[in-house]
A and B are shown apart, each in its own frame.
Chain A
Amino acid sequence: MAETICEIEVEIKNADGLHMRPAMQFVDVASKFDSDIKVSNEDTSVDAKSIMQMTMLAATFGTKLKVRAEGSDAQEATEAIRYLVEEKLFDEKPG
């Protein structure tokens, strides 16, 4: 399969933001895919598969994050992340 690049923007919609538990879910979902996935919040860009880097992003409610996936399953990866962040809201209460 060809290498593809896929970039989307997601908004943090759960009230408590990307604290430890949501960050953990984010990393777990990202890690299921082969693609290299980067998440950026303004100037900071981090590896979506590293819990340390993801928690240090400190994305609070309302933050818009850029998710950029590069690899054979880039499309599926960004979709799974979008679903987790914007629809499933990490199984947390909405803001």
Chain B
Amino acid sequence: MEIRKGIAVSPGIVIAKPMVFDSKDFRIPRRSITASQRMSQVKRVRNAFAEAINELTELDQAHSIEEGKIKDIFAVHLRYLRDKSFRKRITDYVCEELTTAEYAVSVILREIASHFENLKDTYISERAADIYDIESRLLTILLGEVRQEVEDLTEEVVVIAHDLTPTQTAGFNKTYVKGFATEAGGRTSHTAIVARSLGIPAVVALEDVTTNVTAESMVIIDGNRGVVIVDPDEETLDQYRQYALDFLRLEHELDTLRDKPAVTRDGVQINLLANIEFPEETGQALEKGSMGIGLYRTEFLYLTSGSEPTEEDHYKAYSETIKAFKGKPVVIRTMDLGADKLPSRTRYSAEINPVLGLRSIRYCLQNLTLFKTQLKAILRASVLGDIRIMLPLINNLQELRQTKMIIRDVMEDLDEDSIPYNSSVPIGIMIETPSSAITATLLAKDCDFFSIGTNDLTQYTLAVDRANEHVATLYSSADPAVLQLIRGVIHDANKAQIGLSVCGEVASDPEFIILLLGMGARTLSLAPPMIPEIKQIIRSVTVEQCNKLARAVAGMDSQRQIKNYLRDAAMKILPEAF
């Protein structure tokens, strides 16, 4: 039995078999196999070699004779892959050391590479790069098989990985993936967001967790306490089965709140909307009592198929959701990916600083065909219900006006083809950079609503990468600088009498709710599973209490002081929830 402590980022308890995701960009951990699994691992090595030979032969044929240097490199790699003594060295390692195919490939290839690196002759020592390239090709094939397995699952599993990327999670079969445990990440990492939106437990920042798990293991993920247990003993298993039951019972209790309004004790109505990542979550959002969708992330459309989505792909995803919400608002956020995340786009090389680079609205404004395809589908769907368009990462008025002009262009195209749409569809922006927060009054003149994206706003204000475990502790939305911006934006939006919602992580953080209400927010958009708990808090407070707390926080000067104050206040107002 192995107990690991990490950061709990999504509540719940699950006991299941693990599915381990290795990444070729990180060291492949040594994972043991049983003697009876030898043949299947050897077969995987052989298949990977055959597959790599096919890939290279195709690549080789795709290049013309003039590209002699490239052809030479492919030719060398091909000979390596056809070298039986090379392949045998790997399969022998599998059989003698009883490890997975991935581990054997990485060990042997690294041995050969280091042999080259240690040579004095620079011309030959540089050849280590070729070996790493072959390693990467073989590992991509082997790890791709695992990914396929997760898409074709037939039994419940928990996914264990160094980190999960949007491309990976978009491909998961969500009926069977019941929990996440990762080595990297923080409260607002992609893994955490997806887990919460799926309503499955997740624990992150677990050192070396992928090393401890084998295909035969049983894993407990406790997303309430931030604990992951590998191969639990009988006693622990029994204890956790009980925890899981208790947790379910609590959830059902909260579910009785579904049909009750989100109203404070002094009668102020709060609008609770859902953030969704995939159309499959529509049902859950309704079930948990959301009054609409406050943030419909559309990135899955670009990540699942491996190619650019067509207008029909977009239309289908939006129209299904809007029909399910029967007249309730559905805020669709346009594409919010970095150039680096997009499949089938090789025009852009890797960026040193992607968070500050070509991403989101910036990418859309440079790739109008892709952008207009999405806008056209949203506009077509706008006659089906209360659809609103939300633009991410808008930094200034010029970007906003330029984008609105493009939307008008698309409307004209629709007019020409006599396709109906809602010509007064509300257009709003995410406030997620310090620049847009500071100039909110200017921006408010040209749009219908703001939605404060507190995750990016915190990251950009504090200059902290929330996914980097070494600095993640410096990331806090309770920082006075961040709170000052949020307070200002809410004030400016209310003054301009435009819509205002908060859709970031803080909107589902029980300790933050009282503060947000006190700062004047009346619409919150959050992960569906969190709605009942947040509603319970709202129903337990008065706006007067909230205002008092917000005034006190405005006078505080440190993140820690604010955090402690919020926690104490929440516990006083609502002891049973904490």
Contact = CB atoms under 8 A, between A and B. Distances in A.
B235 interface: no
Contacts of B86: 50-52
Interface in A17-40: 17-21, 23-24, 27-28
A60 B116 CA distance: 13
Contacts of A78: none
A51 B84 CA distance: 10
B121 A51 contact: no
B424 interface: no
A60 B76 contact: no
B123 A19 contact: yes
A56 interface: yes
B121 A60 contact: yes
A55 B121 contact: no
B344 interface: no
Contacts, number: 51
B79 A24 contact: yes
Given A47-B85, A50-B86, A51-B79, A17 B121 contact: yes
Interface string A45-64: 00100111101101010000
A51 B124 CA distance: 14
Interface string B476-504: 00000000000000000000000000000
Interface string B71-89: 0110110011001111001
Contacts of A19: 123-124, 127
B112 interface: yes
B560 interface: no
Interface residues of B, number: 20
Nearest to A52: B86
A9 interface: no
Contact of A52 (B75, B112, B123): B112
B248 interface: no
Nearest to B120: A60
Contacts of B116: 55-56, 58
B241 interface: no
B123 A21 contact: no
Contacts of A24: 72, 75-76, 79
A52 to B, nearest CB: 4
A8 B510 CA distance: 81
A47 B85 CA distance: 9
Given A19-B127, A20-B127, A58 B83 contact: no
B119 A50 contact: no
B413 interface: no
Given A52-B112, A56-B112, A58-B119, A17 B124 contact: yes
Nearest to B86: A52
Given A20-B130, A50-B85, A51-B86, A60 B79 contact: no
Nearest to A27: B79
Nearest to B76: A20
B115 interface: yes
A52 B86 CA distance: 6
Interface in B98-157: 112, 115-116, 119, 121, 123-124, 127, 130
Given A17-B124, A21-B76, A52 B85 contact: yes
B403 to A, nearest CB: 51
Interface in A46-95: 47, 50-53, 55-56, 58, 60
B83 A52 contact: yes
A16 B123 contact: yes
Contact of B127 (A27, A47, A53, A55): A55
A27 B112 CA distance: 18
A83 B72 CA distance: 21
Contacts of A17: 121, 123-124
A20 B75 CA distance: 10
B230 to A, nearest CB: 37
Given A24-B75, A56-B115, A50 B124 contact: no
A16 B124 CA distance: 8
A79 B490 CA distance: 85
Contacts of A16: 123
Contacts of A18: 124
Interface in B275-304: none
A6 B121 CA distance: 30
A46 B27 CA distance: 30
Contact of A58 (B75, B76, B124): B124
B83 A50 contact: yes
Contacts of B119: 58
A33 B14 CA distance: 61
A51 B115 contact: no
Contact of B83 (A21, A51, A60): A51
Instruction: Name the residue in A19, A28, A52, A58 with the highest tally of chain B Cβ atoms < 10 Å from its Cβ.
Output: A52
Nearest to A57: B124
A47 B112 CA distance: 16
A32 to B, nearest CB: 14
A81 B222 CA distance: 65
A51 B112 contact: no
Contacts of B72: 20-21, 24
A51 B123 contact: no
A21 B127 CA distance: 10
Contacts of A58: 116, 119, 121, 124
A27 B121 CA distance: 21
Interface of B: 72-73, 75-76, 79-80, 83-86, 89, 112, 115-116, 119, 121, 123-124, 127, 130
Given A47-B85, A50-B86, A51-B86, 19 more contacts: A18-B124, A20-B72, A20-B76, A21-B72, A23-B76, A24-B72, A24-B76, A24-B79, A27-B79, A28-B79, A50-B83, A52-B112, A55-B116, A55-B127, A56-B112, A56-B115, A58-B116, A58-B119, A60-B124
10 contacts: A17-B121, A17-B124, A20-B72, A21-B72, A28-B79, A47-B85, A50-B84, A52-B86, A52-B112, A60-B121
Interface of A: 16-21, 23-24, 27-28, 47, 50-53, 55-56, 58, 60
